[in-house]
A and B are shown apart, each in its own frame.
Chain A
Amino acid sequence: MNIQGWAEIALTLGLAALIGWPIGLYMSRVWNGERTWLDPVMKPVEALFYRAAGVSPRQSQGWLSYAGALLTFNAAGFLLLYAILRLQAGLPLNPQGFEGVSPHLAFNTAVSFVTNTNWQSYGGETTMSTLTQMTGLTVQNFLSAATGATIAAALARAFVASRGEGVGNFWVDMTRTTLWVLLPLSAIFAVVLVGLGVTQTLQASAAATGLEGGSQTLSLFPTASQLAIKQLGINGGGIFNVNSAHPFENPTPLTNLLTAISINMLGWAAFFAFGRTVLARKDVRALAIAALVLLSLSGAAMYAIETQPAPALVAAGVDASANMEGKEVRFGVPASVVWAVQTTGASSGSVNSMHASYMPLGGALQMFLMQLGEILPGGIGSGIAIMVVMAVLSVFVAGLMVGRTPEYLGKKIEAREIQFAMIAVLVLPLAVLGFTAVAAILPAALAGLLNDGPHGLSEMLYAYTSAAGNNGSAFAGLTANSPWWNTTLGIAMLMGRFVPAIAVLAIAGSLVAKPKLAPSPGTLPTHGPLFIGLVIGVILILGGLQFFPALALGPIVEHFQVLDAVARL
């Protein structure tokens, strides 16, 4: 560990939140339909889309109708992507000559990209044609991110309304988030990335003859256009097998810094957008501080963990000050660990180092961050929405202690809200622990493992955590392209995405009808250090403790094995 490393980690985490702030204020204007400087360009496109789709943009939907639109839209996106994957052999722009994708892999991949998970049971450059990457995967990178944002927009309206009815219009929220926020930012970012070395071509590959005479085939793609939204949309599905570790996706320390910032930028922006829309900036700032504290502590811990002596290096008498297995020289440990923390805290799943080769506690921390519910700061909108659920549970817990009806942001929190909040929170352990338990005794599941012992359990636990958390990163030793893994991981992704989404919309539907209360002397202040501490406590207990026994059997056992192995040398 050195001062440069600490500075790099702090800069990366800090800049993301800092840049997210003004973008969040802009995003709030977009949600509210206020004037923006992009109106002259985007308004005509927007109007055209509504006219063609038969959408009345002024009509505010009830929460059920909003949720119905969300589900139908995602189902349509799933079907189109599934069809493209299955049929890619016969479709144009397949210079690689790839076959159609198998049914279970197509199911898994289509679910994966529609749910913003971007788990990949395949290697990009060996499976997906250029057309599939562009018209299939890139499109869902945008639309799944916009879908996440709609959940926060609807929830924000529910808090701000007094005895209201509708929570907004799904089609409007989705369309405006895409046209005003995601598309322009991605376009600018993509061009910058190409300038810094990321590929962007329709050619399949370039051929080279090395200095020693060996031939090399370099896979190329329209990488930058997909990479930009993969990062900004907190999607995480790589164009290439090794994601942002691939030099064509992430050639330099500068591209690494920019793409690392973009993992968290719009997640933070959604926090600040929520705060501005609800007129509760101080309260949302408290939630952002809680998230940033947890994220920063994780970054520091990860740096300490990955500079511990790795047993294989110690045994061979190699410099063991950095665990370089599965890391790139240009990034080294600091840029790798901060990315690992960002990507698991934020439901991105994009990686620039191989998580499977981290020290055991590093892997444990990656899983733990996902198991907290992807709220540090999480996906665009989906992060702040679950964070608000945590805040609602926090005021509920505090209300139980002092014997008052809890309120949050001027709305009474009652039984119905708490029921749905618990559903949103408990689906994660159900999917993760349930599926992992079954997989641990099924030969068909165990056949996919690369490592045995506790690390093997970690591969499975990580996979279901990543799927249900809609993260998408992996202990990539697991060979997941089999019917069992593709199918069950797909189901876990669906559970982890749509159960919390509908539960949050149900909370919004319940809250929107309630009167907005002015704060009374008995109202628990929800912006001070006391509340920040309370929220952190609820997150750690609710999100973390349920998974502790499983982590104890996997990475924590492995940690003690590592200590033992090093001590024997």
Chain B
Amino acid sequence: MLSQLRPAIVMVALFTLLLGVAYPLGITGIAQAAFPGQANGSLVRDADGQVVGSALIGQPFAEARYLHPRPSAAGDGYDASASSGSNLGPLNTDLADRVKTDADAIRAETGTQVIPADAVTTSASGLDPHVSPAYARLQAARVARARGVDVAAVQAVIDDHTDGALLGFIGQPRVNVLLTNRALDVRFPVGT
């Protein structure tokens, strides 16, 4: 094995230069030139050019006038520098308690009996940017009330930001929470 020492060391060194330096830097160069928006995190700006988040990353919303996202296990909730799921097993009592509390709160607010699963479950990443169309629809009345507009008008904005499954069967229909909320602020400003 001693005779293999030189090739081993030289190969590791050369491949580190090729695969660990040239390759990622080359891809970074191409990416920054061809797709700067995506490469830097698909950032979303408001009318003043301020970065309000990423189109791909969920963030917490608690005010009544906004669509609320799913519960999150990333940090204190939607910590985009510490992604995490809950990792609770199906029989874990913490999970059962959390789901029950959240479901009861939604039931009290909306009076509905049928609560979509995504409304009370944490996502895998803790940064899920989407909710299901059913959960968005459930929140439309609250948002409309808070903004003093028609439910139908709010629902129209939600529909504008709903993506279907690719070719009808790849992925799931979904509503982007941040983009919907930004559009709501533009369409129905609340006096601040």
Chain A residues with a Cβ under 8 A of chain B: 3-5, 7-8, 11, 45, 49, 52-55, 65, 68-69, 71-73, 75-77, 80, 123, 125-126, 134-136, 138-139, 142-143, 171, 174-175, 178, 183, 186-187, 190-191, 194-203, 205-212, 214, 216-220, 222, 224-226, 240-242, 245-248, 251-254, 256-257, 310-313, 315-332, 335-336, 351-354, 356-360, 450-451, 453, 455, 458, 475-477, 558, 561-562, 565
A167 vs chain B, min Cβ distance (A): 15
Chain B residues with a Cβ under 8 A of chain A: 1, 4-12, 14-16, 18-21, 23-24, 26-28, 30-32, 34-35, 38-43, 46, 50-54, 56-63, 66, 70, 78-92, 95-96, 99-100, 102-104, 107, 113-132, 165-166, 168-172, 174, 178, 181-182, 185
Docked complex Cα distance between A4 and B170 (Å): 8
Are A4 and B84 within 8 A (Cβ)?
Answer: no
Docked complex Cα distance between A34 and B58 (Å): 50
Are B82 and A125 within 8 A (Cβ)?
Answer: yes
Known contacts A178-B19, A327-B124, A329-B131: A194-B38 contact under CB 8 Å: yes
Contact among B66, B89, B170 for A455, CB-based, below 8 A:
B89
Are B121 and A325 within 8 A (Cβ)?
Answer: yes
User: Which B residues lie within 8 Å of A171 (CB)?
Assistant: 7, 11
Are A200 and B32 within 8 A (Cβ)?
Answer: yes
Docked complex Cα distance between A310 and B116 (Å): 13
Are B123 and A329 within 8 A (Cβ)?
Answer: yes
A154 vs chain B, min Cβ distance (A): 15
Known contacts A335-B170, A562-B91: A248-B56 contact under CB 8 Å: yes
Are B8 and A125 within 8 A (Cβ)?
Answer: no
Contact among A5, A201, A242, A311 for B28, CB-based, below 8 A:
A201
Docked complex Cα distance between A3 and B165 (Å): 13
B39 vs chain A, min Cβ distance (A): 4
Docked complex Cα distance between A461 and B90 (Å): 17
Known contacts A139-B19, A139-B20: A68-B80 contact under CB 8 Å: no
Q: In the complex, given contacts A216-B78, A318-B115, what are 12 additional A-B residue pairs having Cβ atoms less than 8 angstroms apart?
A: A5-B169, A49-B14, A142-B15, A214-B59, A225-B28, A252-B166, A257-B171, A316-B104, A329-B123, A331-B172, A332-B172, A451-B89
Contact among A8, A325, A326, A357 for B170, CB-based, below 8 A:
A8
Known contacts A142-B19, A201-B39, A216-B78: A319-B117 contact under CB 8 Å: yes
- Give the residue name and chain of the A residue nearest to B30 (CB): A191
User: Which A residues lie within 8 Å of B84 (CB)?
Assistant: 123, 241-242
- Give the residue name and chain of the A residue nearest to B26 (CB): A187
User: Which B residues lie within 8 Å of A326 (CB)?
Assistant: 85-87, 121-124
Docked complex Cα distance between A331 and B119 (Å): 15
User: Which B residues lie within 8 Å of A335 (CB)?
Assistant: 170-172
User: Which A residues lie within 8 Å of B185 (CB)?
Assistant: 211
- Give the residue name and chain of the B residue nearest to A356 (CB): B87
Known contacts A186-B23, A194-B38, A208-B51: A328-B56 contact under CB 8 Å: no
User: Which B residues lie within 8 Å of A178 (CB)?
Assistant: 15, 19
B100 vs chain A, min Cβ distance (A): 4
User: Which A residues lie within 8 Å of B63 (CB)?
Assistant: 212
28 A-B pairs with CB atoms under 8 Å apart are A7-B169, A8-B171, A11-B169, A53-B7, A69-B7, A72-B7, A73-B8, A76-B11, A80-B16, A190-B27, A200-B31, A201-B28, A201-B40, A202-B28, A207-B51, A208-B53, A217-B79, A242-B126, A246-B127, A254-B166, A312-B90, A328-B130, A332-B172, A354-B86, A356-B89, A357-B90, A450-B88, A451-B88
- Give the residue name and chain of the A residue nearest to B6 (CB): A54
User: Which B residues lie within 8 Å of A214 (CB)?
Assistant: 59-60
Are A200 and B28 within 8 A (Cβ)?
Answer: yes
- Give the residue name and chain of the A residue nearest to B56 (CB): A247
